[in-house]
Structure 1
């Protein structure tokens, strides 16, 4: 009986530790389910701030995200290289959501601008704004699959600058605003199909910079 008790206690302790170790991922999963599917949506304006910055906002995912943020009554700083497309996007947002959504256009070619210059170009038009959300969506890839040595050096440099360097320096320009008020959200748009979850032969630079 004396030898059985310590064995029982050992099994009990191990079982408790195992149960405790299982609780953390289970609770994490339940929290994720609540946040993603069951809980009420966040009021972005209240939780983060009244302005959002979206890069690469004139087409595709970036444009859709800009409209979604505008639908939550966030004003938008729109970052892109084509002034005509930026103006068209801003006009479409104002036409749909009215005066409740302000817009500011930041014209910059991220592939041809140095890091510090990117920060300065973004800092000036957002000075004094209550920036709450930053979406680094701008992305660049080469057309058509090709081996690394076949990629033009200028194209490779542009992809790295837009996908990594620009996102870094824009974030650097915005973080002090968020840090000062101790709240904010930064979304870096990657690519699940190209680099996030699997390798992508013949698109290696894009996959690496968007992983």
Structure 2
């Protein structure tokens, strides 16, 4: 008896359920392929210098993701303007980049916690002067802070929240506005804003409420700028990593196990993936494969379960940071 005859013998409700099940599996597989970016992994890397221009601006370049992104962009042949608050550390990464990859570098001292103050305006003027006349093709807005770590809103000094908003929100906006005119004039460029998976993959991020809100702003700003500037030849993208093995996540997560390399990639591994995603037209993305798989599977967990788990973990972090603060007598600072 053929399969067609067997199918005719089945009850209509059984056939309907089988069709619905097949459609669900197909939809899940398509979503998994889309989020995992397997097709992108099969493509070769773009020639960023040829496509966008000879120079890149990277903020927060002295450690973690920013340092690794600086080295990766230099490996791709881009000259660098690196922008940060510590002159000695800026000179260190500039020397490393030049020695390792033979590209040109410029440094701009800028404490982003002073954005929208007289000192911040002075630093913004130095940045505009540094990029003037250069073919800046790529901007990576990486500078960010997560302090105060794991705390209730009412427990931290208001000035701490103001500093976070200035660095994570205002600095991204002002630096982008300073670099875009040259890109518009040349008709090409790429803006990469480093957001956070906390604002994309999770329904809430308790005890980091202001941090998550600033990163949600970065994602929404990127989505809108993506639409505004795409017709002008400029690609705007928010890259939203989950945990990367940097100083920012020290004492925040428990590492170990066979999948640690997949869940907590090193900053160098992340940077390699991030550079590959520049210019691929997704306004918000997670460049790392392990992060994308986590993001995909989070869609199948109820929001209340994710929220309860995140609150439990962040309360654990709160206890760790309270102990660190009490032992050091000062707040623990964390930057990417």
State TM-score, norm by structure 2. 0.51
* Aligned-partner Cα distance in 2 for 1:151–1:207: 16
In structure 2, the residue matched to 1:56 is: 60
In structure 2, the residue matched to 1:5 is: none
Across the aligned residues of Structure 1 and Structure 2, the Cα RMSD in angstroms comes to 2.1
Is the counterpart of residue 74 in structure 1 residue 87 in structure 2? no
Is the counterpart of residue 114 in structure 1 residue 116 in structure 2? yes
Q: 1:143, CA displacement in angstroms?
A: 3.7
- 2:58–2:141: 8 Å Cα contact kept in structure 1? yes
- 1:120–1:173: 8 Å Cα contact kept in structure 2? no
In structure 2, the residue matched to 1:91 is: 95
Which residues of structure 2 form unaligned runs of 5+?
A: 1-26, 217-336
Q: How does 1:56-205 map to 2 (within 5 A)?
A: 56-98=60-102, 101-114=103-116, 117=121, 119-192=124-197, 194-198=198-202, 199-205=204-210
Provide the aligned length of Structure 1 versus Structure 2. 182
In structure 2, the residue matched to 1:43 is: 47
Q: 1:29, CA displacement in angstroms?
A: 4.5
Q: What SS is found at the alignment partner of 1:138?
A: coil
Q: What SS is found at the alignment partner of 1:133?
A: strand
- 1:119–1:172: 8 Å Cα contact kept in structure 2? no
Q: 1:74, CA displacement in angstroms?
A: 0.2
* Aligned-partner Cα distance in 1 for 2:192–2:208: 23
Q: 1:181, CA displacement in angstroms?
A: 0.9
State TM-score, norm by structure 1. 0.80
Which portions of structure 1, spanning 4 or more consecutive aligned residues, are displaced by more than 6 angstroms?
none
Which residues of structure 1 form unaligned runs of 5+?
A: 1-21
Deviation per residue, 1:2-38 (Å, 9 max, x gap): xxxxxxxxxxxxxxxxxxxx9xx89x959x643x122
Aligned in 2, Cα 1:146/1:178: closer, same or farther, shift over 3 Å? same
